[in-house]
Structure 1
């Protein structure tokens, strides 16, 4: 019996910086009845699953490593997706940290009969590259080539900083009840503290 084993495994040398174009990915999928919710529209959970998959593909392509989802920022369902429509998801790297990347994901649907397209969702996935032992792995930086790329990078950095400030501001040790009682005014809430 013939057995062949490679003597050398060639790994493509990782670049220090990559453009968003180098790791951009898109997929198109037909929405089937099995993807629908009780209201007859495509289930949001199915779309989120597809979004996570394409964010993984984009981040893995950029980092040349296995990636995990660290967080998802702002998921707004702007328009419903109908069964029978084509859904296209597009992903690109918007921001790179030392081991993390923010992947911008855009979801559009297309009515195959009329050709009408709708923007259904845009979201931002923070993905972290991992090595074979599950440790965080350094990723290539982002080479920005145009004003839109700079805008996306700056927006992602601002989003990251504001999330950090918000988490710190509302930590149990720093939270002062009397400073936030005014936010309850006009809200559908009843305060009943012990």
Structure 2
């Protein structure tokens, strides 16, 4: 199954996923994002993968119990052992089929061996103009994360 770049998970939002306000809680959505990111990264690399980063998460609209939820994941950049995964969460009433975006973010997953050490993965090479733009965006976001990390180290000191 290696080198599968995209993955879609589909399921119904259940009552156990709801917060006190009657909508699916963010923690449930983040779990779904992590599951789709893992499956996508493992499908691309053919390896066990761990989450290294979740960023830019935006909760755009609520998900309700009974909504059909679709979590779309796709590789948009690869490093030596890491994969940047674009995640888009959509929801709809299964009776109407009108899909709407509910959440979006970027995940970075790292392929590891049995000892937990990073291992090399196949490179993803963009082929379309959209893919080139996605890769360029991933690179810009990496630079921004580095700047944020540097600022956080200044503010809070190195706590590693």
Normalised TM-score (structure 1):
0.76
3-state SS of paired residue (1:69)? strand
1:148 equivalenced with 2:140 (yes/no): no
Correspondence for 1:133? 115
Task: Output the CA distance in 2 between the equivalents of 1:96 and 1:67.
Answer: 13
Residue 43 (structure 1) shift = 1.2
What stretches of structure 2 of length at least 5 have no aligned partner?
none
- Deviation string 1:52-96 (CA, Å, 9 cap, x unpaired) is 001000001111110000010111100001111100011010110
Task: Output the CA distance in 2 between the equivalents of 1:166 and 1:36.
Answer: 33
Correspondence for 1:84? 66
Correspondence for 1:157? 139
What stretches of structure 1 of length at least 5 have no aligned partner?
1-11, 176-194
Task: Output the CA distance in 2 between the equivalents of 1:165 and 1:172.
Answer: 11
Structure with greater proportional strand content: 2
Task: Output the CA distance in 2 between the equivalents of 1:28 and 1:142.
Answer: 25
Residue 132 (structure 1) shift = 1.4
Residue 117 (structure 1) shift = 1.3
Compared CA separation, residues 134 and 80, structure 1 to 2 (3 A): same
Q: Structure 1 residue runs of 4+, over 3 Å off? A: none
Residue 99 (structure 1) shift = 1.0
Correspondence for 1:72? 54
Which residue, 77, 86, 91 being the options, matches 1:104? 86
What's the RMSD between the two structures over aligned residues? 1.7
Correspondence for 2:38? 56
Residue 165 (structure 1) shift = 2.0
Residue 23 (structure 1) shift = 2.5
Which residue, 140, 154, 157 being the options, matches 1:172? 154
Residue 156 (structure 1) shift = 0.5
The number of aligned residues is: 156
